[in-house]
């Protein structure tokens, strides 16, 4: 049996196990339910808001629901993965894996599998009640297209999460280097406010990052083609979506593995011990 392939398989099992533990954990259930409730509540409060563009009029939640689903992908992959990696580095999980042959390969595989699996409850919990409540304009056949947007969006954002998680000095810094820029970008990415309402400079910046394109892709999957009128260029810009997300995926996938390996190389018992002492001081 090839030991690398064995480690990848073992890592995939690890990811599945972690996912099951997460689904069964009251703490994680609470987190999923809370974030879903906040988003649904937000949509509900804005249920009578109209968005107009030229002659066209549409209810706010219809646009915001697929956009939020897109933002959830980016959130899970960037922030979720960054926290996961930084946490597992500090609490000694990575070191455990590193002590086993090809354990680092398995660890990375497990992290990827568990993170991708976590999209199922996080998107599902929002999508099912969301579509029932606000989805009268939705084309449910759109799940086919949504799947490739999710797949490509995951490939574009997951490596970003790995890069952040592998380079931040500690868990607490994920807030500074992950959360802060992430929410800054989300706020200008047409998730909560349509892009046309934004200053051109912000519109330009947002289009560099994947969040806007994932949101656009999700809208293009679920909304009727006439809704493209609300977008920049009055088009779903599918080709551009694939191109931008593809570039992020290629850049991310070439950066993440060496940075991950560098992080793993630096792991030692005393490094974990130091992180532990630091965290104890933080708690006190």
Partner 1 sequence: MTAIQVRDLWMRYGDKDVLRGLDIDVESGEVVALLGPNGAGKTTTIEILEGFRVPSTGEVRVLGEDPATAGEDWRARVGVVLQSWQDHARWSPRALLEHLGRYYEPFSTSGRPRPFPIEELIDLVGLADEADQKILTLSGGQRRRLDVAVGIVGRPELLFLDEPTAGFDPKAKRDFHDLIHRLSDQDETTIVLTTHDLDEAEKLSSRIMILAGGQIVADGSADALARQVTRNAEVRWSENGQRFVHSTPDATPFVRELLTRNPEVDDLEVRRATLEDTYLAMVARYEAGIDVGGVQFEEVAS
Using CB under 8 A as the criterion, which residues of the chain lie in contact with partner 1 when the complex forms? 1-3, 6-7, 10, 13-14, 17, 21, 25, 88, 91-93, 95-103, 106, 267-270, 272-273, 276
Question: In the bound complex, what is the minimum distance in angstroms from residue 277's beta carbon to partner 1?
Answer: 11
Q: Which is nearer to partner 1, 66 or 110 (CB)?
A: 110
Q: Which is nearer to partner 1, 92 or 129 (CB)?
A: 92
> What are the backbone dihedrals phi and psi of residue 92, each rounded to the nearest 5 degrees, phi first?
95, 0
Q: Which of 19, 94, 15, 46 is nearest to 191 (CA)?
A: 46
- Tokens at 196, concatenated: 């046309």
Question: In the bound complex, what is the minimum distance in angstroms from residue 114's beta carbon to partner 1?
Answer: 12
CA distance 199 to 148: 30
Q: Which is nearer to partner 1, 101 or 246 (CB)?
A: 101
Q: Which is nearer to partner 1, 6 or 235 (CB)?
A: 6
How many other C-beta atoms lie within 10 A of the C-beta of residue 132? 10
Q: Which is nearer to partner 1, 1 or 140 (CB)?
A: 1
Alpha helices in the chain, H assignment, sequence order? 3-24, 26-45, 60-75, 81-90, 93-98, 103-117, 119-134, 143-167, 173-174, 180-187, 200-206, 210-222, 238-265, 269-283
How many other C-beta atoms lie within 10 A of the C-beta of residue 76? 21
Q: Which is nearer to partner 1, 13 or 145 (CB)?
A: 13
Question: In the bound complex, what is the minimum distance in angstroms from residue 170's beta carbon to partner 1?
Answer: 14
Q: Which of 124, 145, 162, 122 is nearest to 249 (CA)?
A: 162
Question: In the bound complex, what is the minimum distance in angstroms from residue 23's beta carbon to partner 1?
Answer: 11
Question: In the bound complex, what is the minimum distance in angstroms from residue 137's beta carbon to partner 1?
Answer: 41
Q: Which of 81, 22, 19, 17 is nearest to 263 (CA)?
A: 81
Question: In the bound complex, what is the minimum distance in angstroms from residue 16's beta carbon to partner 1?
Answer: 11
Q: Which is nearer to partner 1, 91 or 167 (CB)?
A: 91
Return all residues near 34 (Cβ < 8 A) that are at least 6 apart.
none
Question: In the bound complex, what is the minimum distance in angstroms from residue 248's beta carbon to partner 1?
Answer: 31
- Which value, in Å, is the radius of gyration of the alpha carbons in the chain? 20
Helix or strand holding residue 56 (H, E) = strand 56-59
Q: Are 245 and 150 in contact (CB under 8 A)?
A: no
């Amino acid at each position: 049996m090839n030991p690398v392939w064995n480690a990848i398989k073992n890592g995939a099992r690890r990811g599945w196990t972690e996912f099951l533990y997460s689904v069964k954990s009251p703490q994680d259930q609470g987190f999923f339910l809370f974030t879903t409730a906040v988003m649904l509540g937000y949509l509900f409060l804005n249920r009578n808001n109209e968005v107009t563009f030229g002659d066209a009029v549409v209810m706010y939640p219809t646009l915001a629901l697929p956009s939020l689903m897109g933002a959830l992908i980016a959130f899970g992959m960037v922030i979720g993965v960054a926290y996961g990696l930084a946490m597992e580095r500090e609490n000694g999980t990575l070191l455990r894996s590193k002590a086993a042959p090809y354990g680092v390969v398995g660890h990375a595989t497990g992290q990827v599998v568990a993170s991708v699996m976590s999209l199922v409850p996080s998107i599902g919990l929002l999508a099912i009640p969301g579509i029932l409540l606000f989805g009268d304009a939705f084309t449910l056949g759109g799940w086919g297209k949504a799947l490739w947007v999710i797949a490509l969006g995951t490939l574009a954002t997951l490596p970003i999460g790995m890069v952040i998680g592998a380079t931040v000095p500690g868990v607490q810094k994920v807030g500074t280097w992950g959360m802060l820029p992430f929410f800054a970008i989300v706020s200008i990415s047409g998730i909560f406010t349509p892009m046309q309402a934004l200053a051109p400079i912000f519109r330009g910046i947002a289009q560099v990052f994947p969040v806007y394109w994932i949101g656009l892709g999700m809208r293009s999957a679920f909304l009727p083609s006439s809704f493209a009128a609300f977008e920049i260029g009055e088009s779903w810009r599918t080709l551009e979506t694939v191109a931008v997300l593809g570039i992020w995926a290629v850049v991310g996938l070439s950066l993440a593995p060496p940075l991950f390996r560098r992080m793993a190389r630096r792991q030692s018992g005393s490094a974990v011990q130091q992180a532990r002492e630091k965290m104890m001081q933080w708690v006190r």
